[in-house]
Amino acid sequence: MCGIVGYVGSRNGTSLLVDGLKRLEYRGYDSAGVSLMDGGGIETRKAKGKIAMLEAAIGSMPIQGNVGIAHTRWATHGPPNECNAHPHHDCSGTVSVVHNGIIENYGPLRAMLKKTGHTFVSDTDTEVLAHLIEAAFDDNLEEAVVDALALVEGTYGIAVICSRDPDKIVAARKGSPLLIGLGEGENYIASDVAAILQHTRHVVYLDDGEMAVVTRTGYRVMDLNAQTIKKRVNRIDWDLDKIEKGGYEHFMLKEIFEQPQTIQNTMRGRSVDEDGFSKLGGLNLSREELQHFDHIIITACGTSWHSALIGKMMIEEHARIRCEVEYASEFRYRNPIVSEKTLCIVISQSGETADTLAAMREAKRRGAKTLGLVNQVGSTIAREDDGGIYLHAGPEIGVASTKAFTSQVVALALLTLKLGRLRTMSVVQGRVVTQALEKLPEQIQNILDRAGEIEKIAAAFTDATNFLYLGRGFNFPVALEGALKLKEISYIHAEGYPAAEMKHGPIALIDADMPVVFIAPHDSVFDKVVSNVQEVKARGGRVIAITSRDEPSLDGKIDYEFRIPETIDMLNPVLSAIPLQLLAYYIAAKRGLNVDQPRNLAKSVTVE
């Protein structure tokens, strides 16, 4: 979603800010802009479309300066065009603002400002901020920002510069991530550490309700009553090459191929084979507390919601705790039953998804303990949960989530072991799980070594207009995930269903033009799935089957087959998801689409 970068130092900030924006491209955007303090006044360049267009605009009318802010916009209020792109200005052009989030009361504020003579040029909610700051400005930018924000309802991560108080950036956060990067004689602002990692590894994360005044030589964080807040400086320990393509054509393909390693990283030091147990240091819950829960709610969005469905099945089957899965966007506005015996697990790759964060806060407010399964270290969910399990999958840049999904499933398996072994799971049952977990990296490598087989299958379906994905048990959420991957990046309509549910409606769609992907490894429901394959074949559907061994019962019923190695039922999703990620990838790549930044999508959805 929208991205923010800011720089205050002694270098020319133009290319530094534009390079920072390029590092945020993966988040999804439709226009971009930059403002610099240029010889006393503020100069701004903006462009619709890719950052290359912004570079062209700067090329034809260069700007420079050593205090500046920049933004990639993902349209919410008003279409993506140059005028609506950020930064936005006040009437006199002395204030420049970039903003992530939504100002909910921008309508009345705009009307009020218009009455007092302010002129608006864009359709955005953000523009009111520039005018509010202009109206409140006396001689100090941070005071004007405090006064302006006091009138605002909604969410924001903002960075502001002002030519009447020129040597600083003022930033503030409520509901939209923001951090300060610390350099030598220069400092930065960013909504995502990727934007500034080439300049510094030392960052200070802002929390909701905090603002920062950042100058060349230092920074000060305070609350909105101007009370100084002491903040921790965090060191980022991953490298820039993690956010580069490393020879792959797309980040998504690189991330799919990283999975033997990322799974290993999720498990490292956590799976204890001799005791069939897992060590999860970050849970912050005592043995007694873990035994006390009799109800679990898992809440998430999108792909993370699919892994939540798998987690529910694992936990109910092996730890025997009642478990519900809720879309975070629904949970936050319901009146859910939560008690002090409820554990709320929130799953989020980014740790910033607005609905998931709000659901977690709601669960906390109602007395539940919260556990975050988060990939992005230092993200808001990771900082606000009561305890958690970091996925350690490394930065995920491709908008379609791949390696985070498999790491989520593995983290849920580790949690299941922990909860199960404190209840009814025997050491022998525990060891079956730990041993199966240990085999996963090699088994994933085996699948990836045969990616060419999937590429050939993909070649037969590049012109398909619909797809159906069917699976049962642990593989039903994989069917949902396979369908989501395909529709996100190839724009082919796809649906996932429990295989037997097909008879209750979707079967009407099946004809010779309908490809049907069956996720059918040899598990406890395999024989049931065979009957569903038969039903599709009898109606002329084209069957692609993900199987795990030679199955005579499928002879003559499938058109394309890909074999995955065998594992225990609960870990099948880790293996069966990978050929589906590859299938979606190859189909989209063969259609010549922008795999890493599909249209309309954002990597981290920080608005409701």
Q: Tell me which residues are annotated as active site.
A: 2, 603
> Total residues contacting ligand F6R (rule CB under 6 A)?
15
Contact range with ligand F6R by CB under 6 A, out of 56-64, 103-111, 260-268, 347-355: 347-355
Minimum CB distance to ligand F6R smaller for 385 or for 488: 488
What is the distance between the alpha carbons of residues 325 and 580, in angstroms, rounded to a whole number?
23
To ligand F6R, the closest distance from the beta carbon of 608 in angstroms equals 12
CB nearer to ligand F6R: give 23 or 48: 23
Within a 10 A sphere around the Cβ of 273, how many other Cβ atoms? 13
Interface residue with ligand F6R among 33, 101, 175, 302 (CB under 6 A) is: 302
Q: How far is the CB of 356 from ligand F6R (least distance, A)?
A: 5
Task: Tell me the C-alpha distance between 18 and 52, whole Å.
Answer: 9
State the burial class of residue 187 (Cβ atoms within 10 Å of its Cβ: 0-12, 13-18, 19+).
buried
Instruction: Please provide residue 13's backbone torsions phi and psi, each rounded to the nearest 5 degrees.
Output: -85, -5
Report, in Å, the least distance between residue 82 CB and ligand F6R.
28
Examine residue 319 and tell whether it contacts ligand F6R (CB under 6 A): no
CA atoms of 351 and 372, how far apart (whole Å): 8
Interacting span for ligand F6R (CB under 6 A) from 148-156, 225-233, 300-308, 463-471: 300-308
The CA dihedral of 166, 169, 174, 179, to the nearest 10 degrees, is: 180
> Which residue's C-beta sits nearest to ligand F6R?
302
Binder among 308, 377, 605, 607 for ligand F6R (CB under 6 A): 605
Smallest gap from Cβ 529 to ligand F6R, in A, equals 25
Find the part of the chain contacting ligand F6R (CB under 6 A) among 112-120, 296-304, 490-498, 500-508: 296-304
CB of residue 428 to ligand F6R, shortest distance in Å: 34
Q: How far apart are the C-alpha atoms of 164 and 400, rounded to whole Å?
A: 43
Helix 572-590 / helix 403-421 crossing angle, nearest 10 deg: 170
Q: Which of 564, 562, 549 is nearest to 458 (CA)?
A: 562
Tokens of 16: 């530094």
Closer residue to ligand F6R (CB): 42 or 584:
584
600: region left, alpha or beta (phi > 0 left; psi from -120 to 50 alpha): left
Considering the complex, what minimum distance in angstroms separates the CB of residue 204 from ligand F6R?
Answer: 22
Question: Which listed residue (271, 304, 406, 597) binds ligand F6R by CB under 6 A?
Answer: 304
550 φ, ψ (degrees, to nearest 5): -65, 120
Site for ligand F6R in 384-403 (CB under 6 A): 400-401
CB-CB contact of 520 with 487 (8 Å): no
Cis ω for the linkage preceding 515 (within 30 of 0): no
Distance CA 86, CA 127 (A): 9
- Identify which of residues 122 and 490 has a Cβ nearer to ligand F6R in the complex: 490
Written as six digits, the tokens of 579 are 């050929």
312: its two tokens: 């529910």
Residue range at the interface with ligand F6R (CB under 6 A); choices 299-307, 335-343, 427-435, 565-573? 299-307
What is the closest distance, in whole angstroms, from the C-beta atom of residue 396 to ligand F6R in the complex?
8
For ligand F6R, which is the closer residue by CB, 133 or 346? Answer: 346
Distance CA 539, CA 535 (A): 7
Nearest distance in Å: CB 372, ligand F6R: 10
The answer to whether 464 touches 492, Cβ cutoff 8 Å, is: yes
- Determine if 348 is a binding residue for ligand F6R (CB under 6 A): yes
Q: Contacts with ligand F6R in 190-219 (CB under 6 A)?
A: none
- Which residues fall within 8 angstroms of residue 254, CB to CB, at 6 or more apart? 245, 246, 248, 398
Task: Please state the φ and ψ torsions of residue 537, each to the nearest 5 degrees.
Answer: -60, -40
Kindly tell me which of 349 and 532 has the beta carbon lying closer to ligand F6R.
349
Alpha carbon distance 291, 281 (integer Å): 16
Stretch touching ligand F6R by CB under 6 A, among 14-22, 312-320, 343-351, 568-576: 343-351
94 binds ligand F6R (CB under 6 A): no
Q: In whole angstroms, how far apart are CA 456 and each of 402, 550, 590? A: 21, 20, 11
The β-bridge relationship of strands 542-547 and 515-519 is parallel
Question: Nearest Cα to 57, choosing from 67, 46, 72, 49?
Answer: 46
CA-nearest of 236, 233, 234 to 197 is 236
At 544, the amino acid letter reads: I
Determine the interface stretch with ligand F6R among 298-306, 360-368, 425-433, 567-575 (rule: CB under 6 A): 298-306
Residues in the chain: 608
Nearest alpha carbon to residue 579 among 459, 458, 434, 418: 458
Measured from the CB of residue 75, what is the shortest distance to ligand F6R in angstroms?
A: 17
* Contact positions with ligand F6R (CB under 6 A) in 487-506: 488
Which x/- pattern, by CB under 6 A, does the window 349-368 give for ligand F6R?
Answer: xx--x--x------------
Stretch that binds ligand F6R, among 146-154, 301-309, 447-455, 503-511 (CB under 6 A): 301-309
The smaller minimum CB distance to ligand F6R, of residues 26 and 156, is found at 26
Tell how many helices (H) and how many strands (E) occur in the chain: 18, 26
- Residue 65 makes contact with ligand F6R by CB under 6 A: no
Nearer to ligand F6R, 489 or 510 (CB): 489
- Residues 226 and 90: their CA atoms lie apart, in Å, by 24
Binding window for ligand F6R (CB under 6 A); candidates: 92-100, 253-261, 342-350, 385-393: 342-350
Q: At closest approach, how far in Å is the CB of 358 from ligand F6R?
A: 12
Q: Examine residue 407 and tell whether it contacts ligand F6R (CB under 6 A).
A: no
Judged by beta carbon, residue 486 or residue 502, the one nearer ligand F6R is 486
Considering the complex, state which of residue 90 and residue 481 has its C-beta at the smaller distance from ligand F6R.
481
* 479 binding ligand F6R? (CB under 6 A): no
If one asks whether residue 606 binds ligand F6R (CB under 6 A), the answer comes out as: no
Residue closest to 4 by CA, chosen among 13, 23, 512: 23
- Residue 400 and residue 488 in contact, taking contact as beta carbons nearer than 8 Å: yes
Strands 202-205 and 219-223 turn out to be unpaired
* Amino acid code (one letter) for 575: L
Nearer to ligand F6R, 122 or 265 (CB): 265
List contacts with ligand F6R (CB under 6 A). 301-304, 348-350, 353, 356, 400-401, 484, 488, 604-605
